[in-house]
Amino acid sequence: MYQGSVVFLILQILLGTLGVLCLFVIAFFLGALVFKRSGKKSQVHKILVENLTEKLTKQKHQVLKDMGEDVPKIKPVKAQKKKKFFHKTLSVEDKSNKKCPRIFVLTFQGDVAASATARLTNQVNVLSQILTPEDEVVVKLESPGGYVNAYGLASSQLLRLKEKTHKLTICVDKVAASGGYMMACVGHRILAAPFAVLGSIGAVTGIPNVHKWLKKNDIDYFELTAGAYKRTLTPLGEPTEAGKAKLLQQLQEVHDLFKNMVKHHRPQLDLEKVATGEYWYGQQCVDLGLVDGIKTSDDYLMEKFLESERLHKDKDHKNQEGQKIQIFALTEETTVPMWKKLMAAQMHVFKEIVN
């Protein structure tokens, strides 16, 4: 009798504890769901701006100081103090109240799905409001290519920049092939590192097919379509010559669209030579007309910085073109909302309790 009471008491305690935990978990997830639907975005994207001109100047002065040489004091630009105000940070002016030349540096790291397009779009949305024809935009591009529709959209974002400025420079340090070159060809000028890979102006698709295996194991697969070419080749269906021919036709249409785009932006290219799906390296690309020069992105930006320094010190140019160029690097910070952090923490605690 006594043992039965103890067991019953223990069961009550366990069931009560489990009930409280379940109620706590349910209440938390319901609260998170309500908070999520209250209008809060799943992620917050914040564009950050770094003044590379000021950064390089400080680094140079620090090295000279460490070497024991006298260096002039750096007079910080007042607008730099207000980093949170994007427009104020970028509207750098000299003493003559004229806007200094500006270079905006963007970075695009491409994958098969061109998932960096969302970040690029946010940056283009902001720059399109403040760019002037005299400003320059430098895009550090790296992509092996991917889905044609995804890279078509990414190229369209660069076209928006091209409409706002007379200087859209694309720098390729490693690779801009296929969809990557579709983006690069939009620029007014393309620069490539000596061993950067560019080209691959073509279209490709591939699909495994296990129809024979299904047939061997007496497995039937039924696929019903409305429309003669709703499906061409599928992983499970039986390949047909008509399906192969149609898919090849669609590939050729994509290739033609790609070639037409390249020809529009770089009319000097001989498409018979370069639109074969092949890729080439730096100097070969110059010879073929795929790029305009051999230079890394670091070399190009440093060249602009040193040129600005020289003109700024030249008294003969002070009142004409001697304003110091301001080089801005744009990046983006993605912050996770609090409800997601709370849910992650709660799941971690719950797993610890269960284990």
The radius of gyration of the chain from alpha carbons, rounded to an integer in Å, stands at: 29
Round to whole Å and give the CA distance between 173 and 199.
14
Under a CB-based contact definition with an 8 Å cutoff, are residues 280 and 197 in contact? yes
What's the N-to-C CA distance of the chain in angstroms? 33
In 3-state terms, what secondary structure has residue 186?
Answer: coil
Structure tokens at 118: 């969302």
What's the DSSP call for residue 237? S
Question: Where does the chain show beta strands of DSSP type E?
Answer: 44-51, 102-109, 136-143, 167-177, 189-192, 197-199, 279-281, 293-294, 326-335
Under a CB-based contact definition with an 8 Å cutoff, are residues 46 and 332 in contact? yes
Active-site pick, 178, 200, 297, 308: 178
Round to whole Å and give the CA distance between 111 and 180.
9
Question: Where does 7-114 show beta strands of DSSP type E?
Answer: 44-51, 102-109
- State residue 115 phi and psi, 5-degree precision: -65, -15
- β-strand partners of 142: 109
Active-site pick, 73, 230, 315, 351: 230
313 belongs to the catalytic site = no
| Burial (0-12, 13-18, 19+ Cβ within 10 Å), 323 | buried
Strands 44-51 and 326-335: antiparallel
Round to whole Å and give the CA distance between 152 and 258.
9
304 belongs to the catalytic site = no
Q: Which residues are tagged catalytic? A: 178, 230
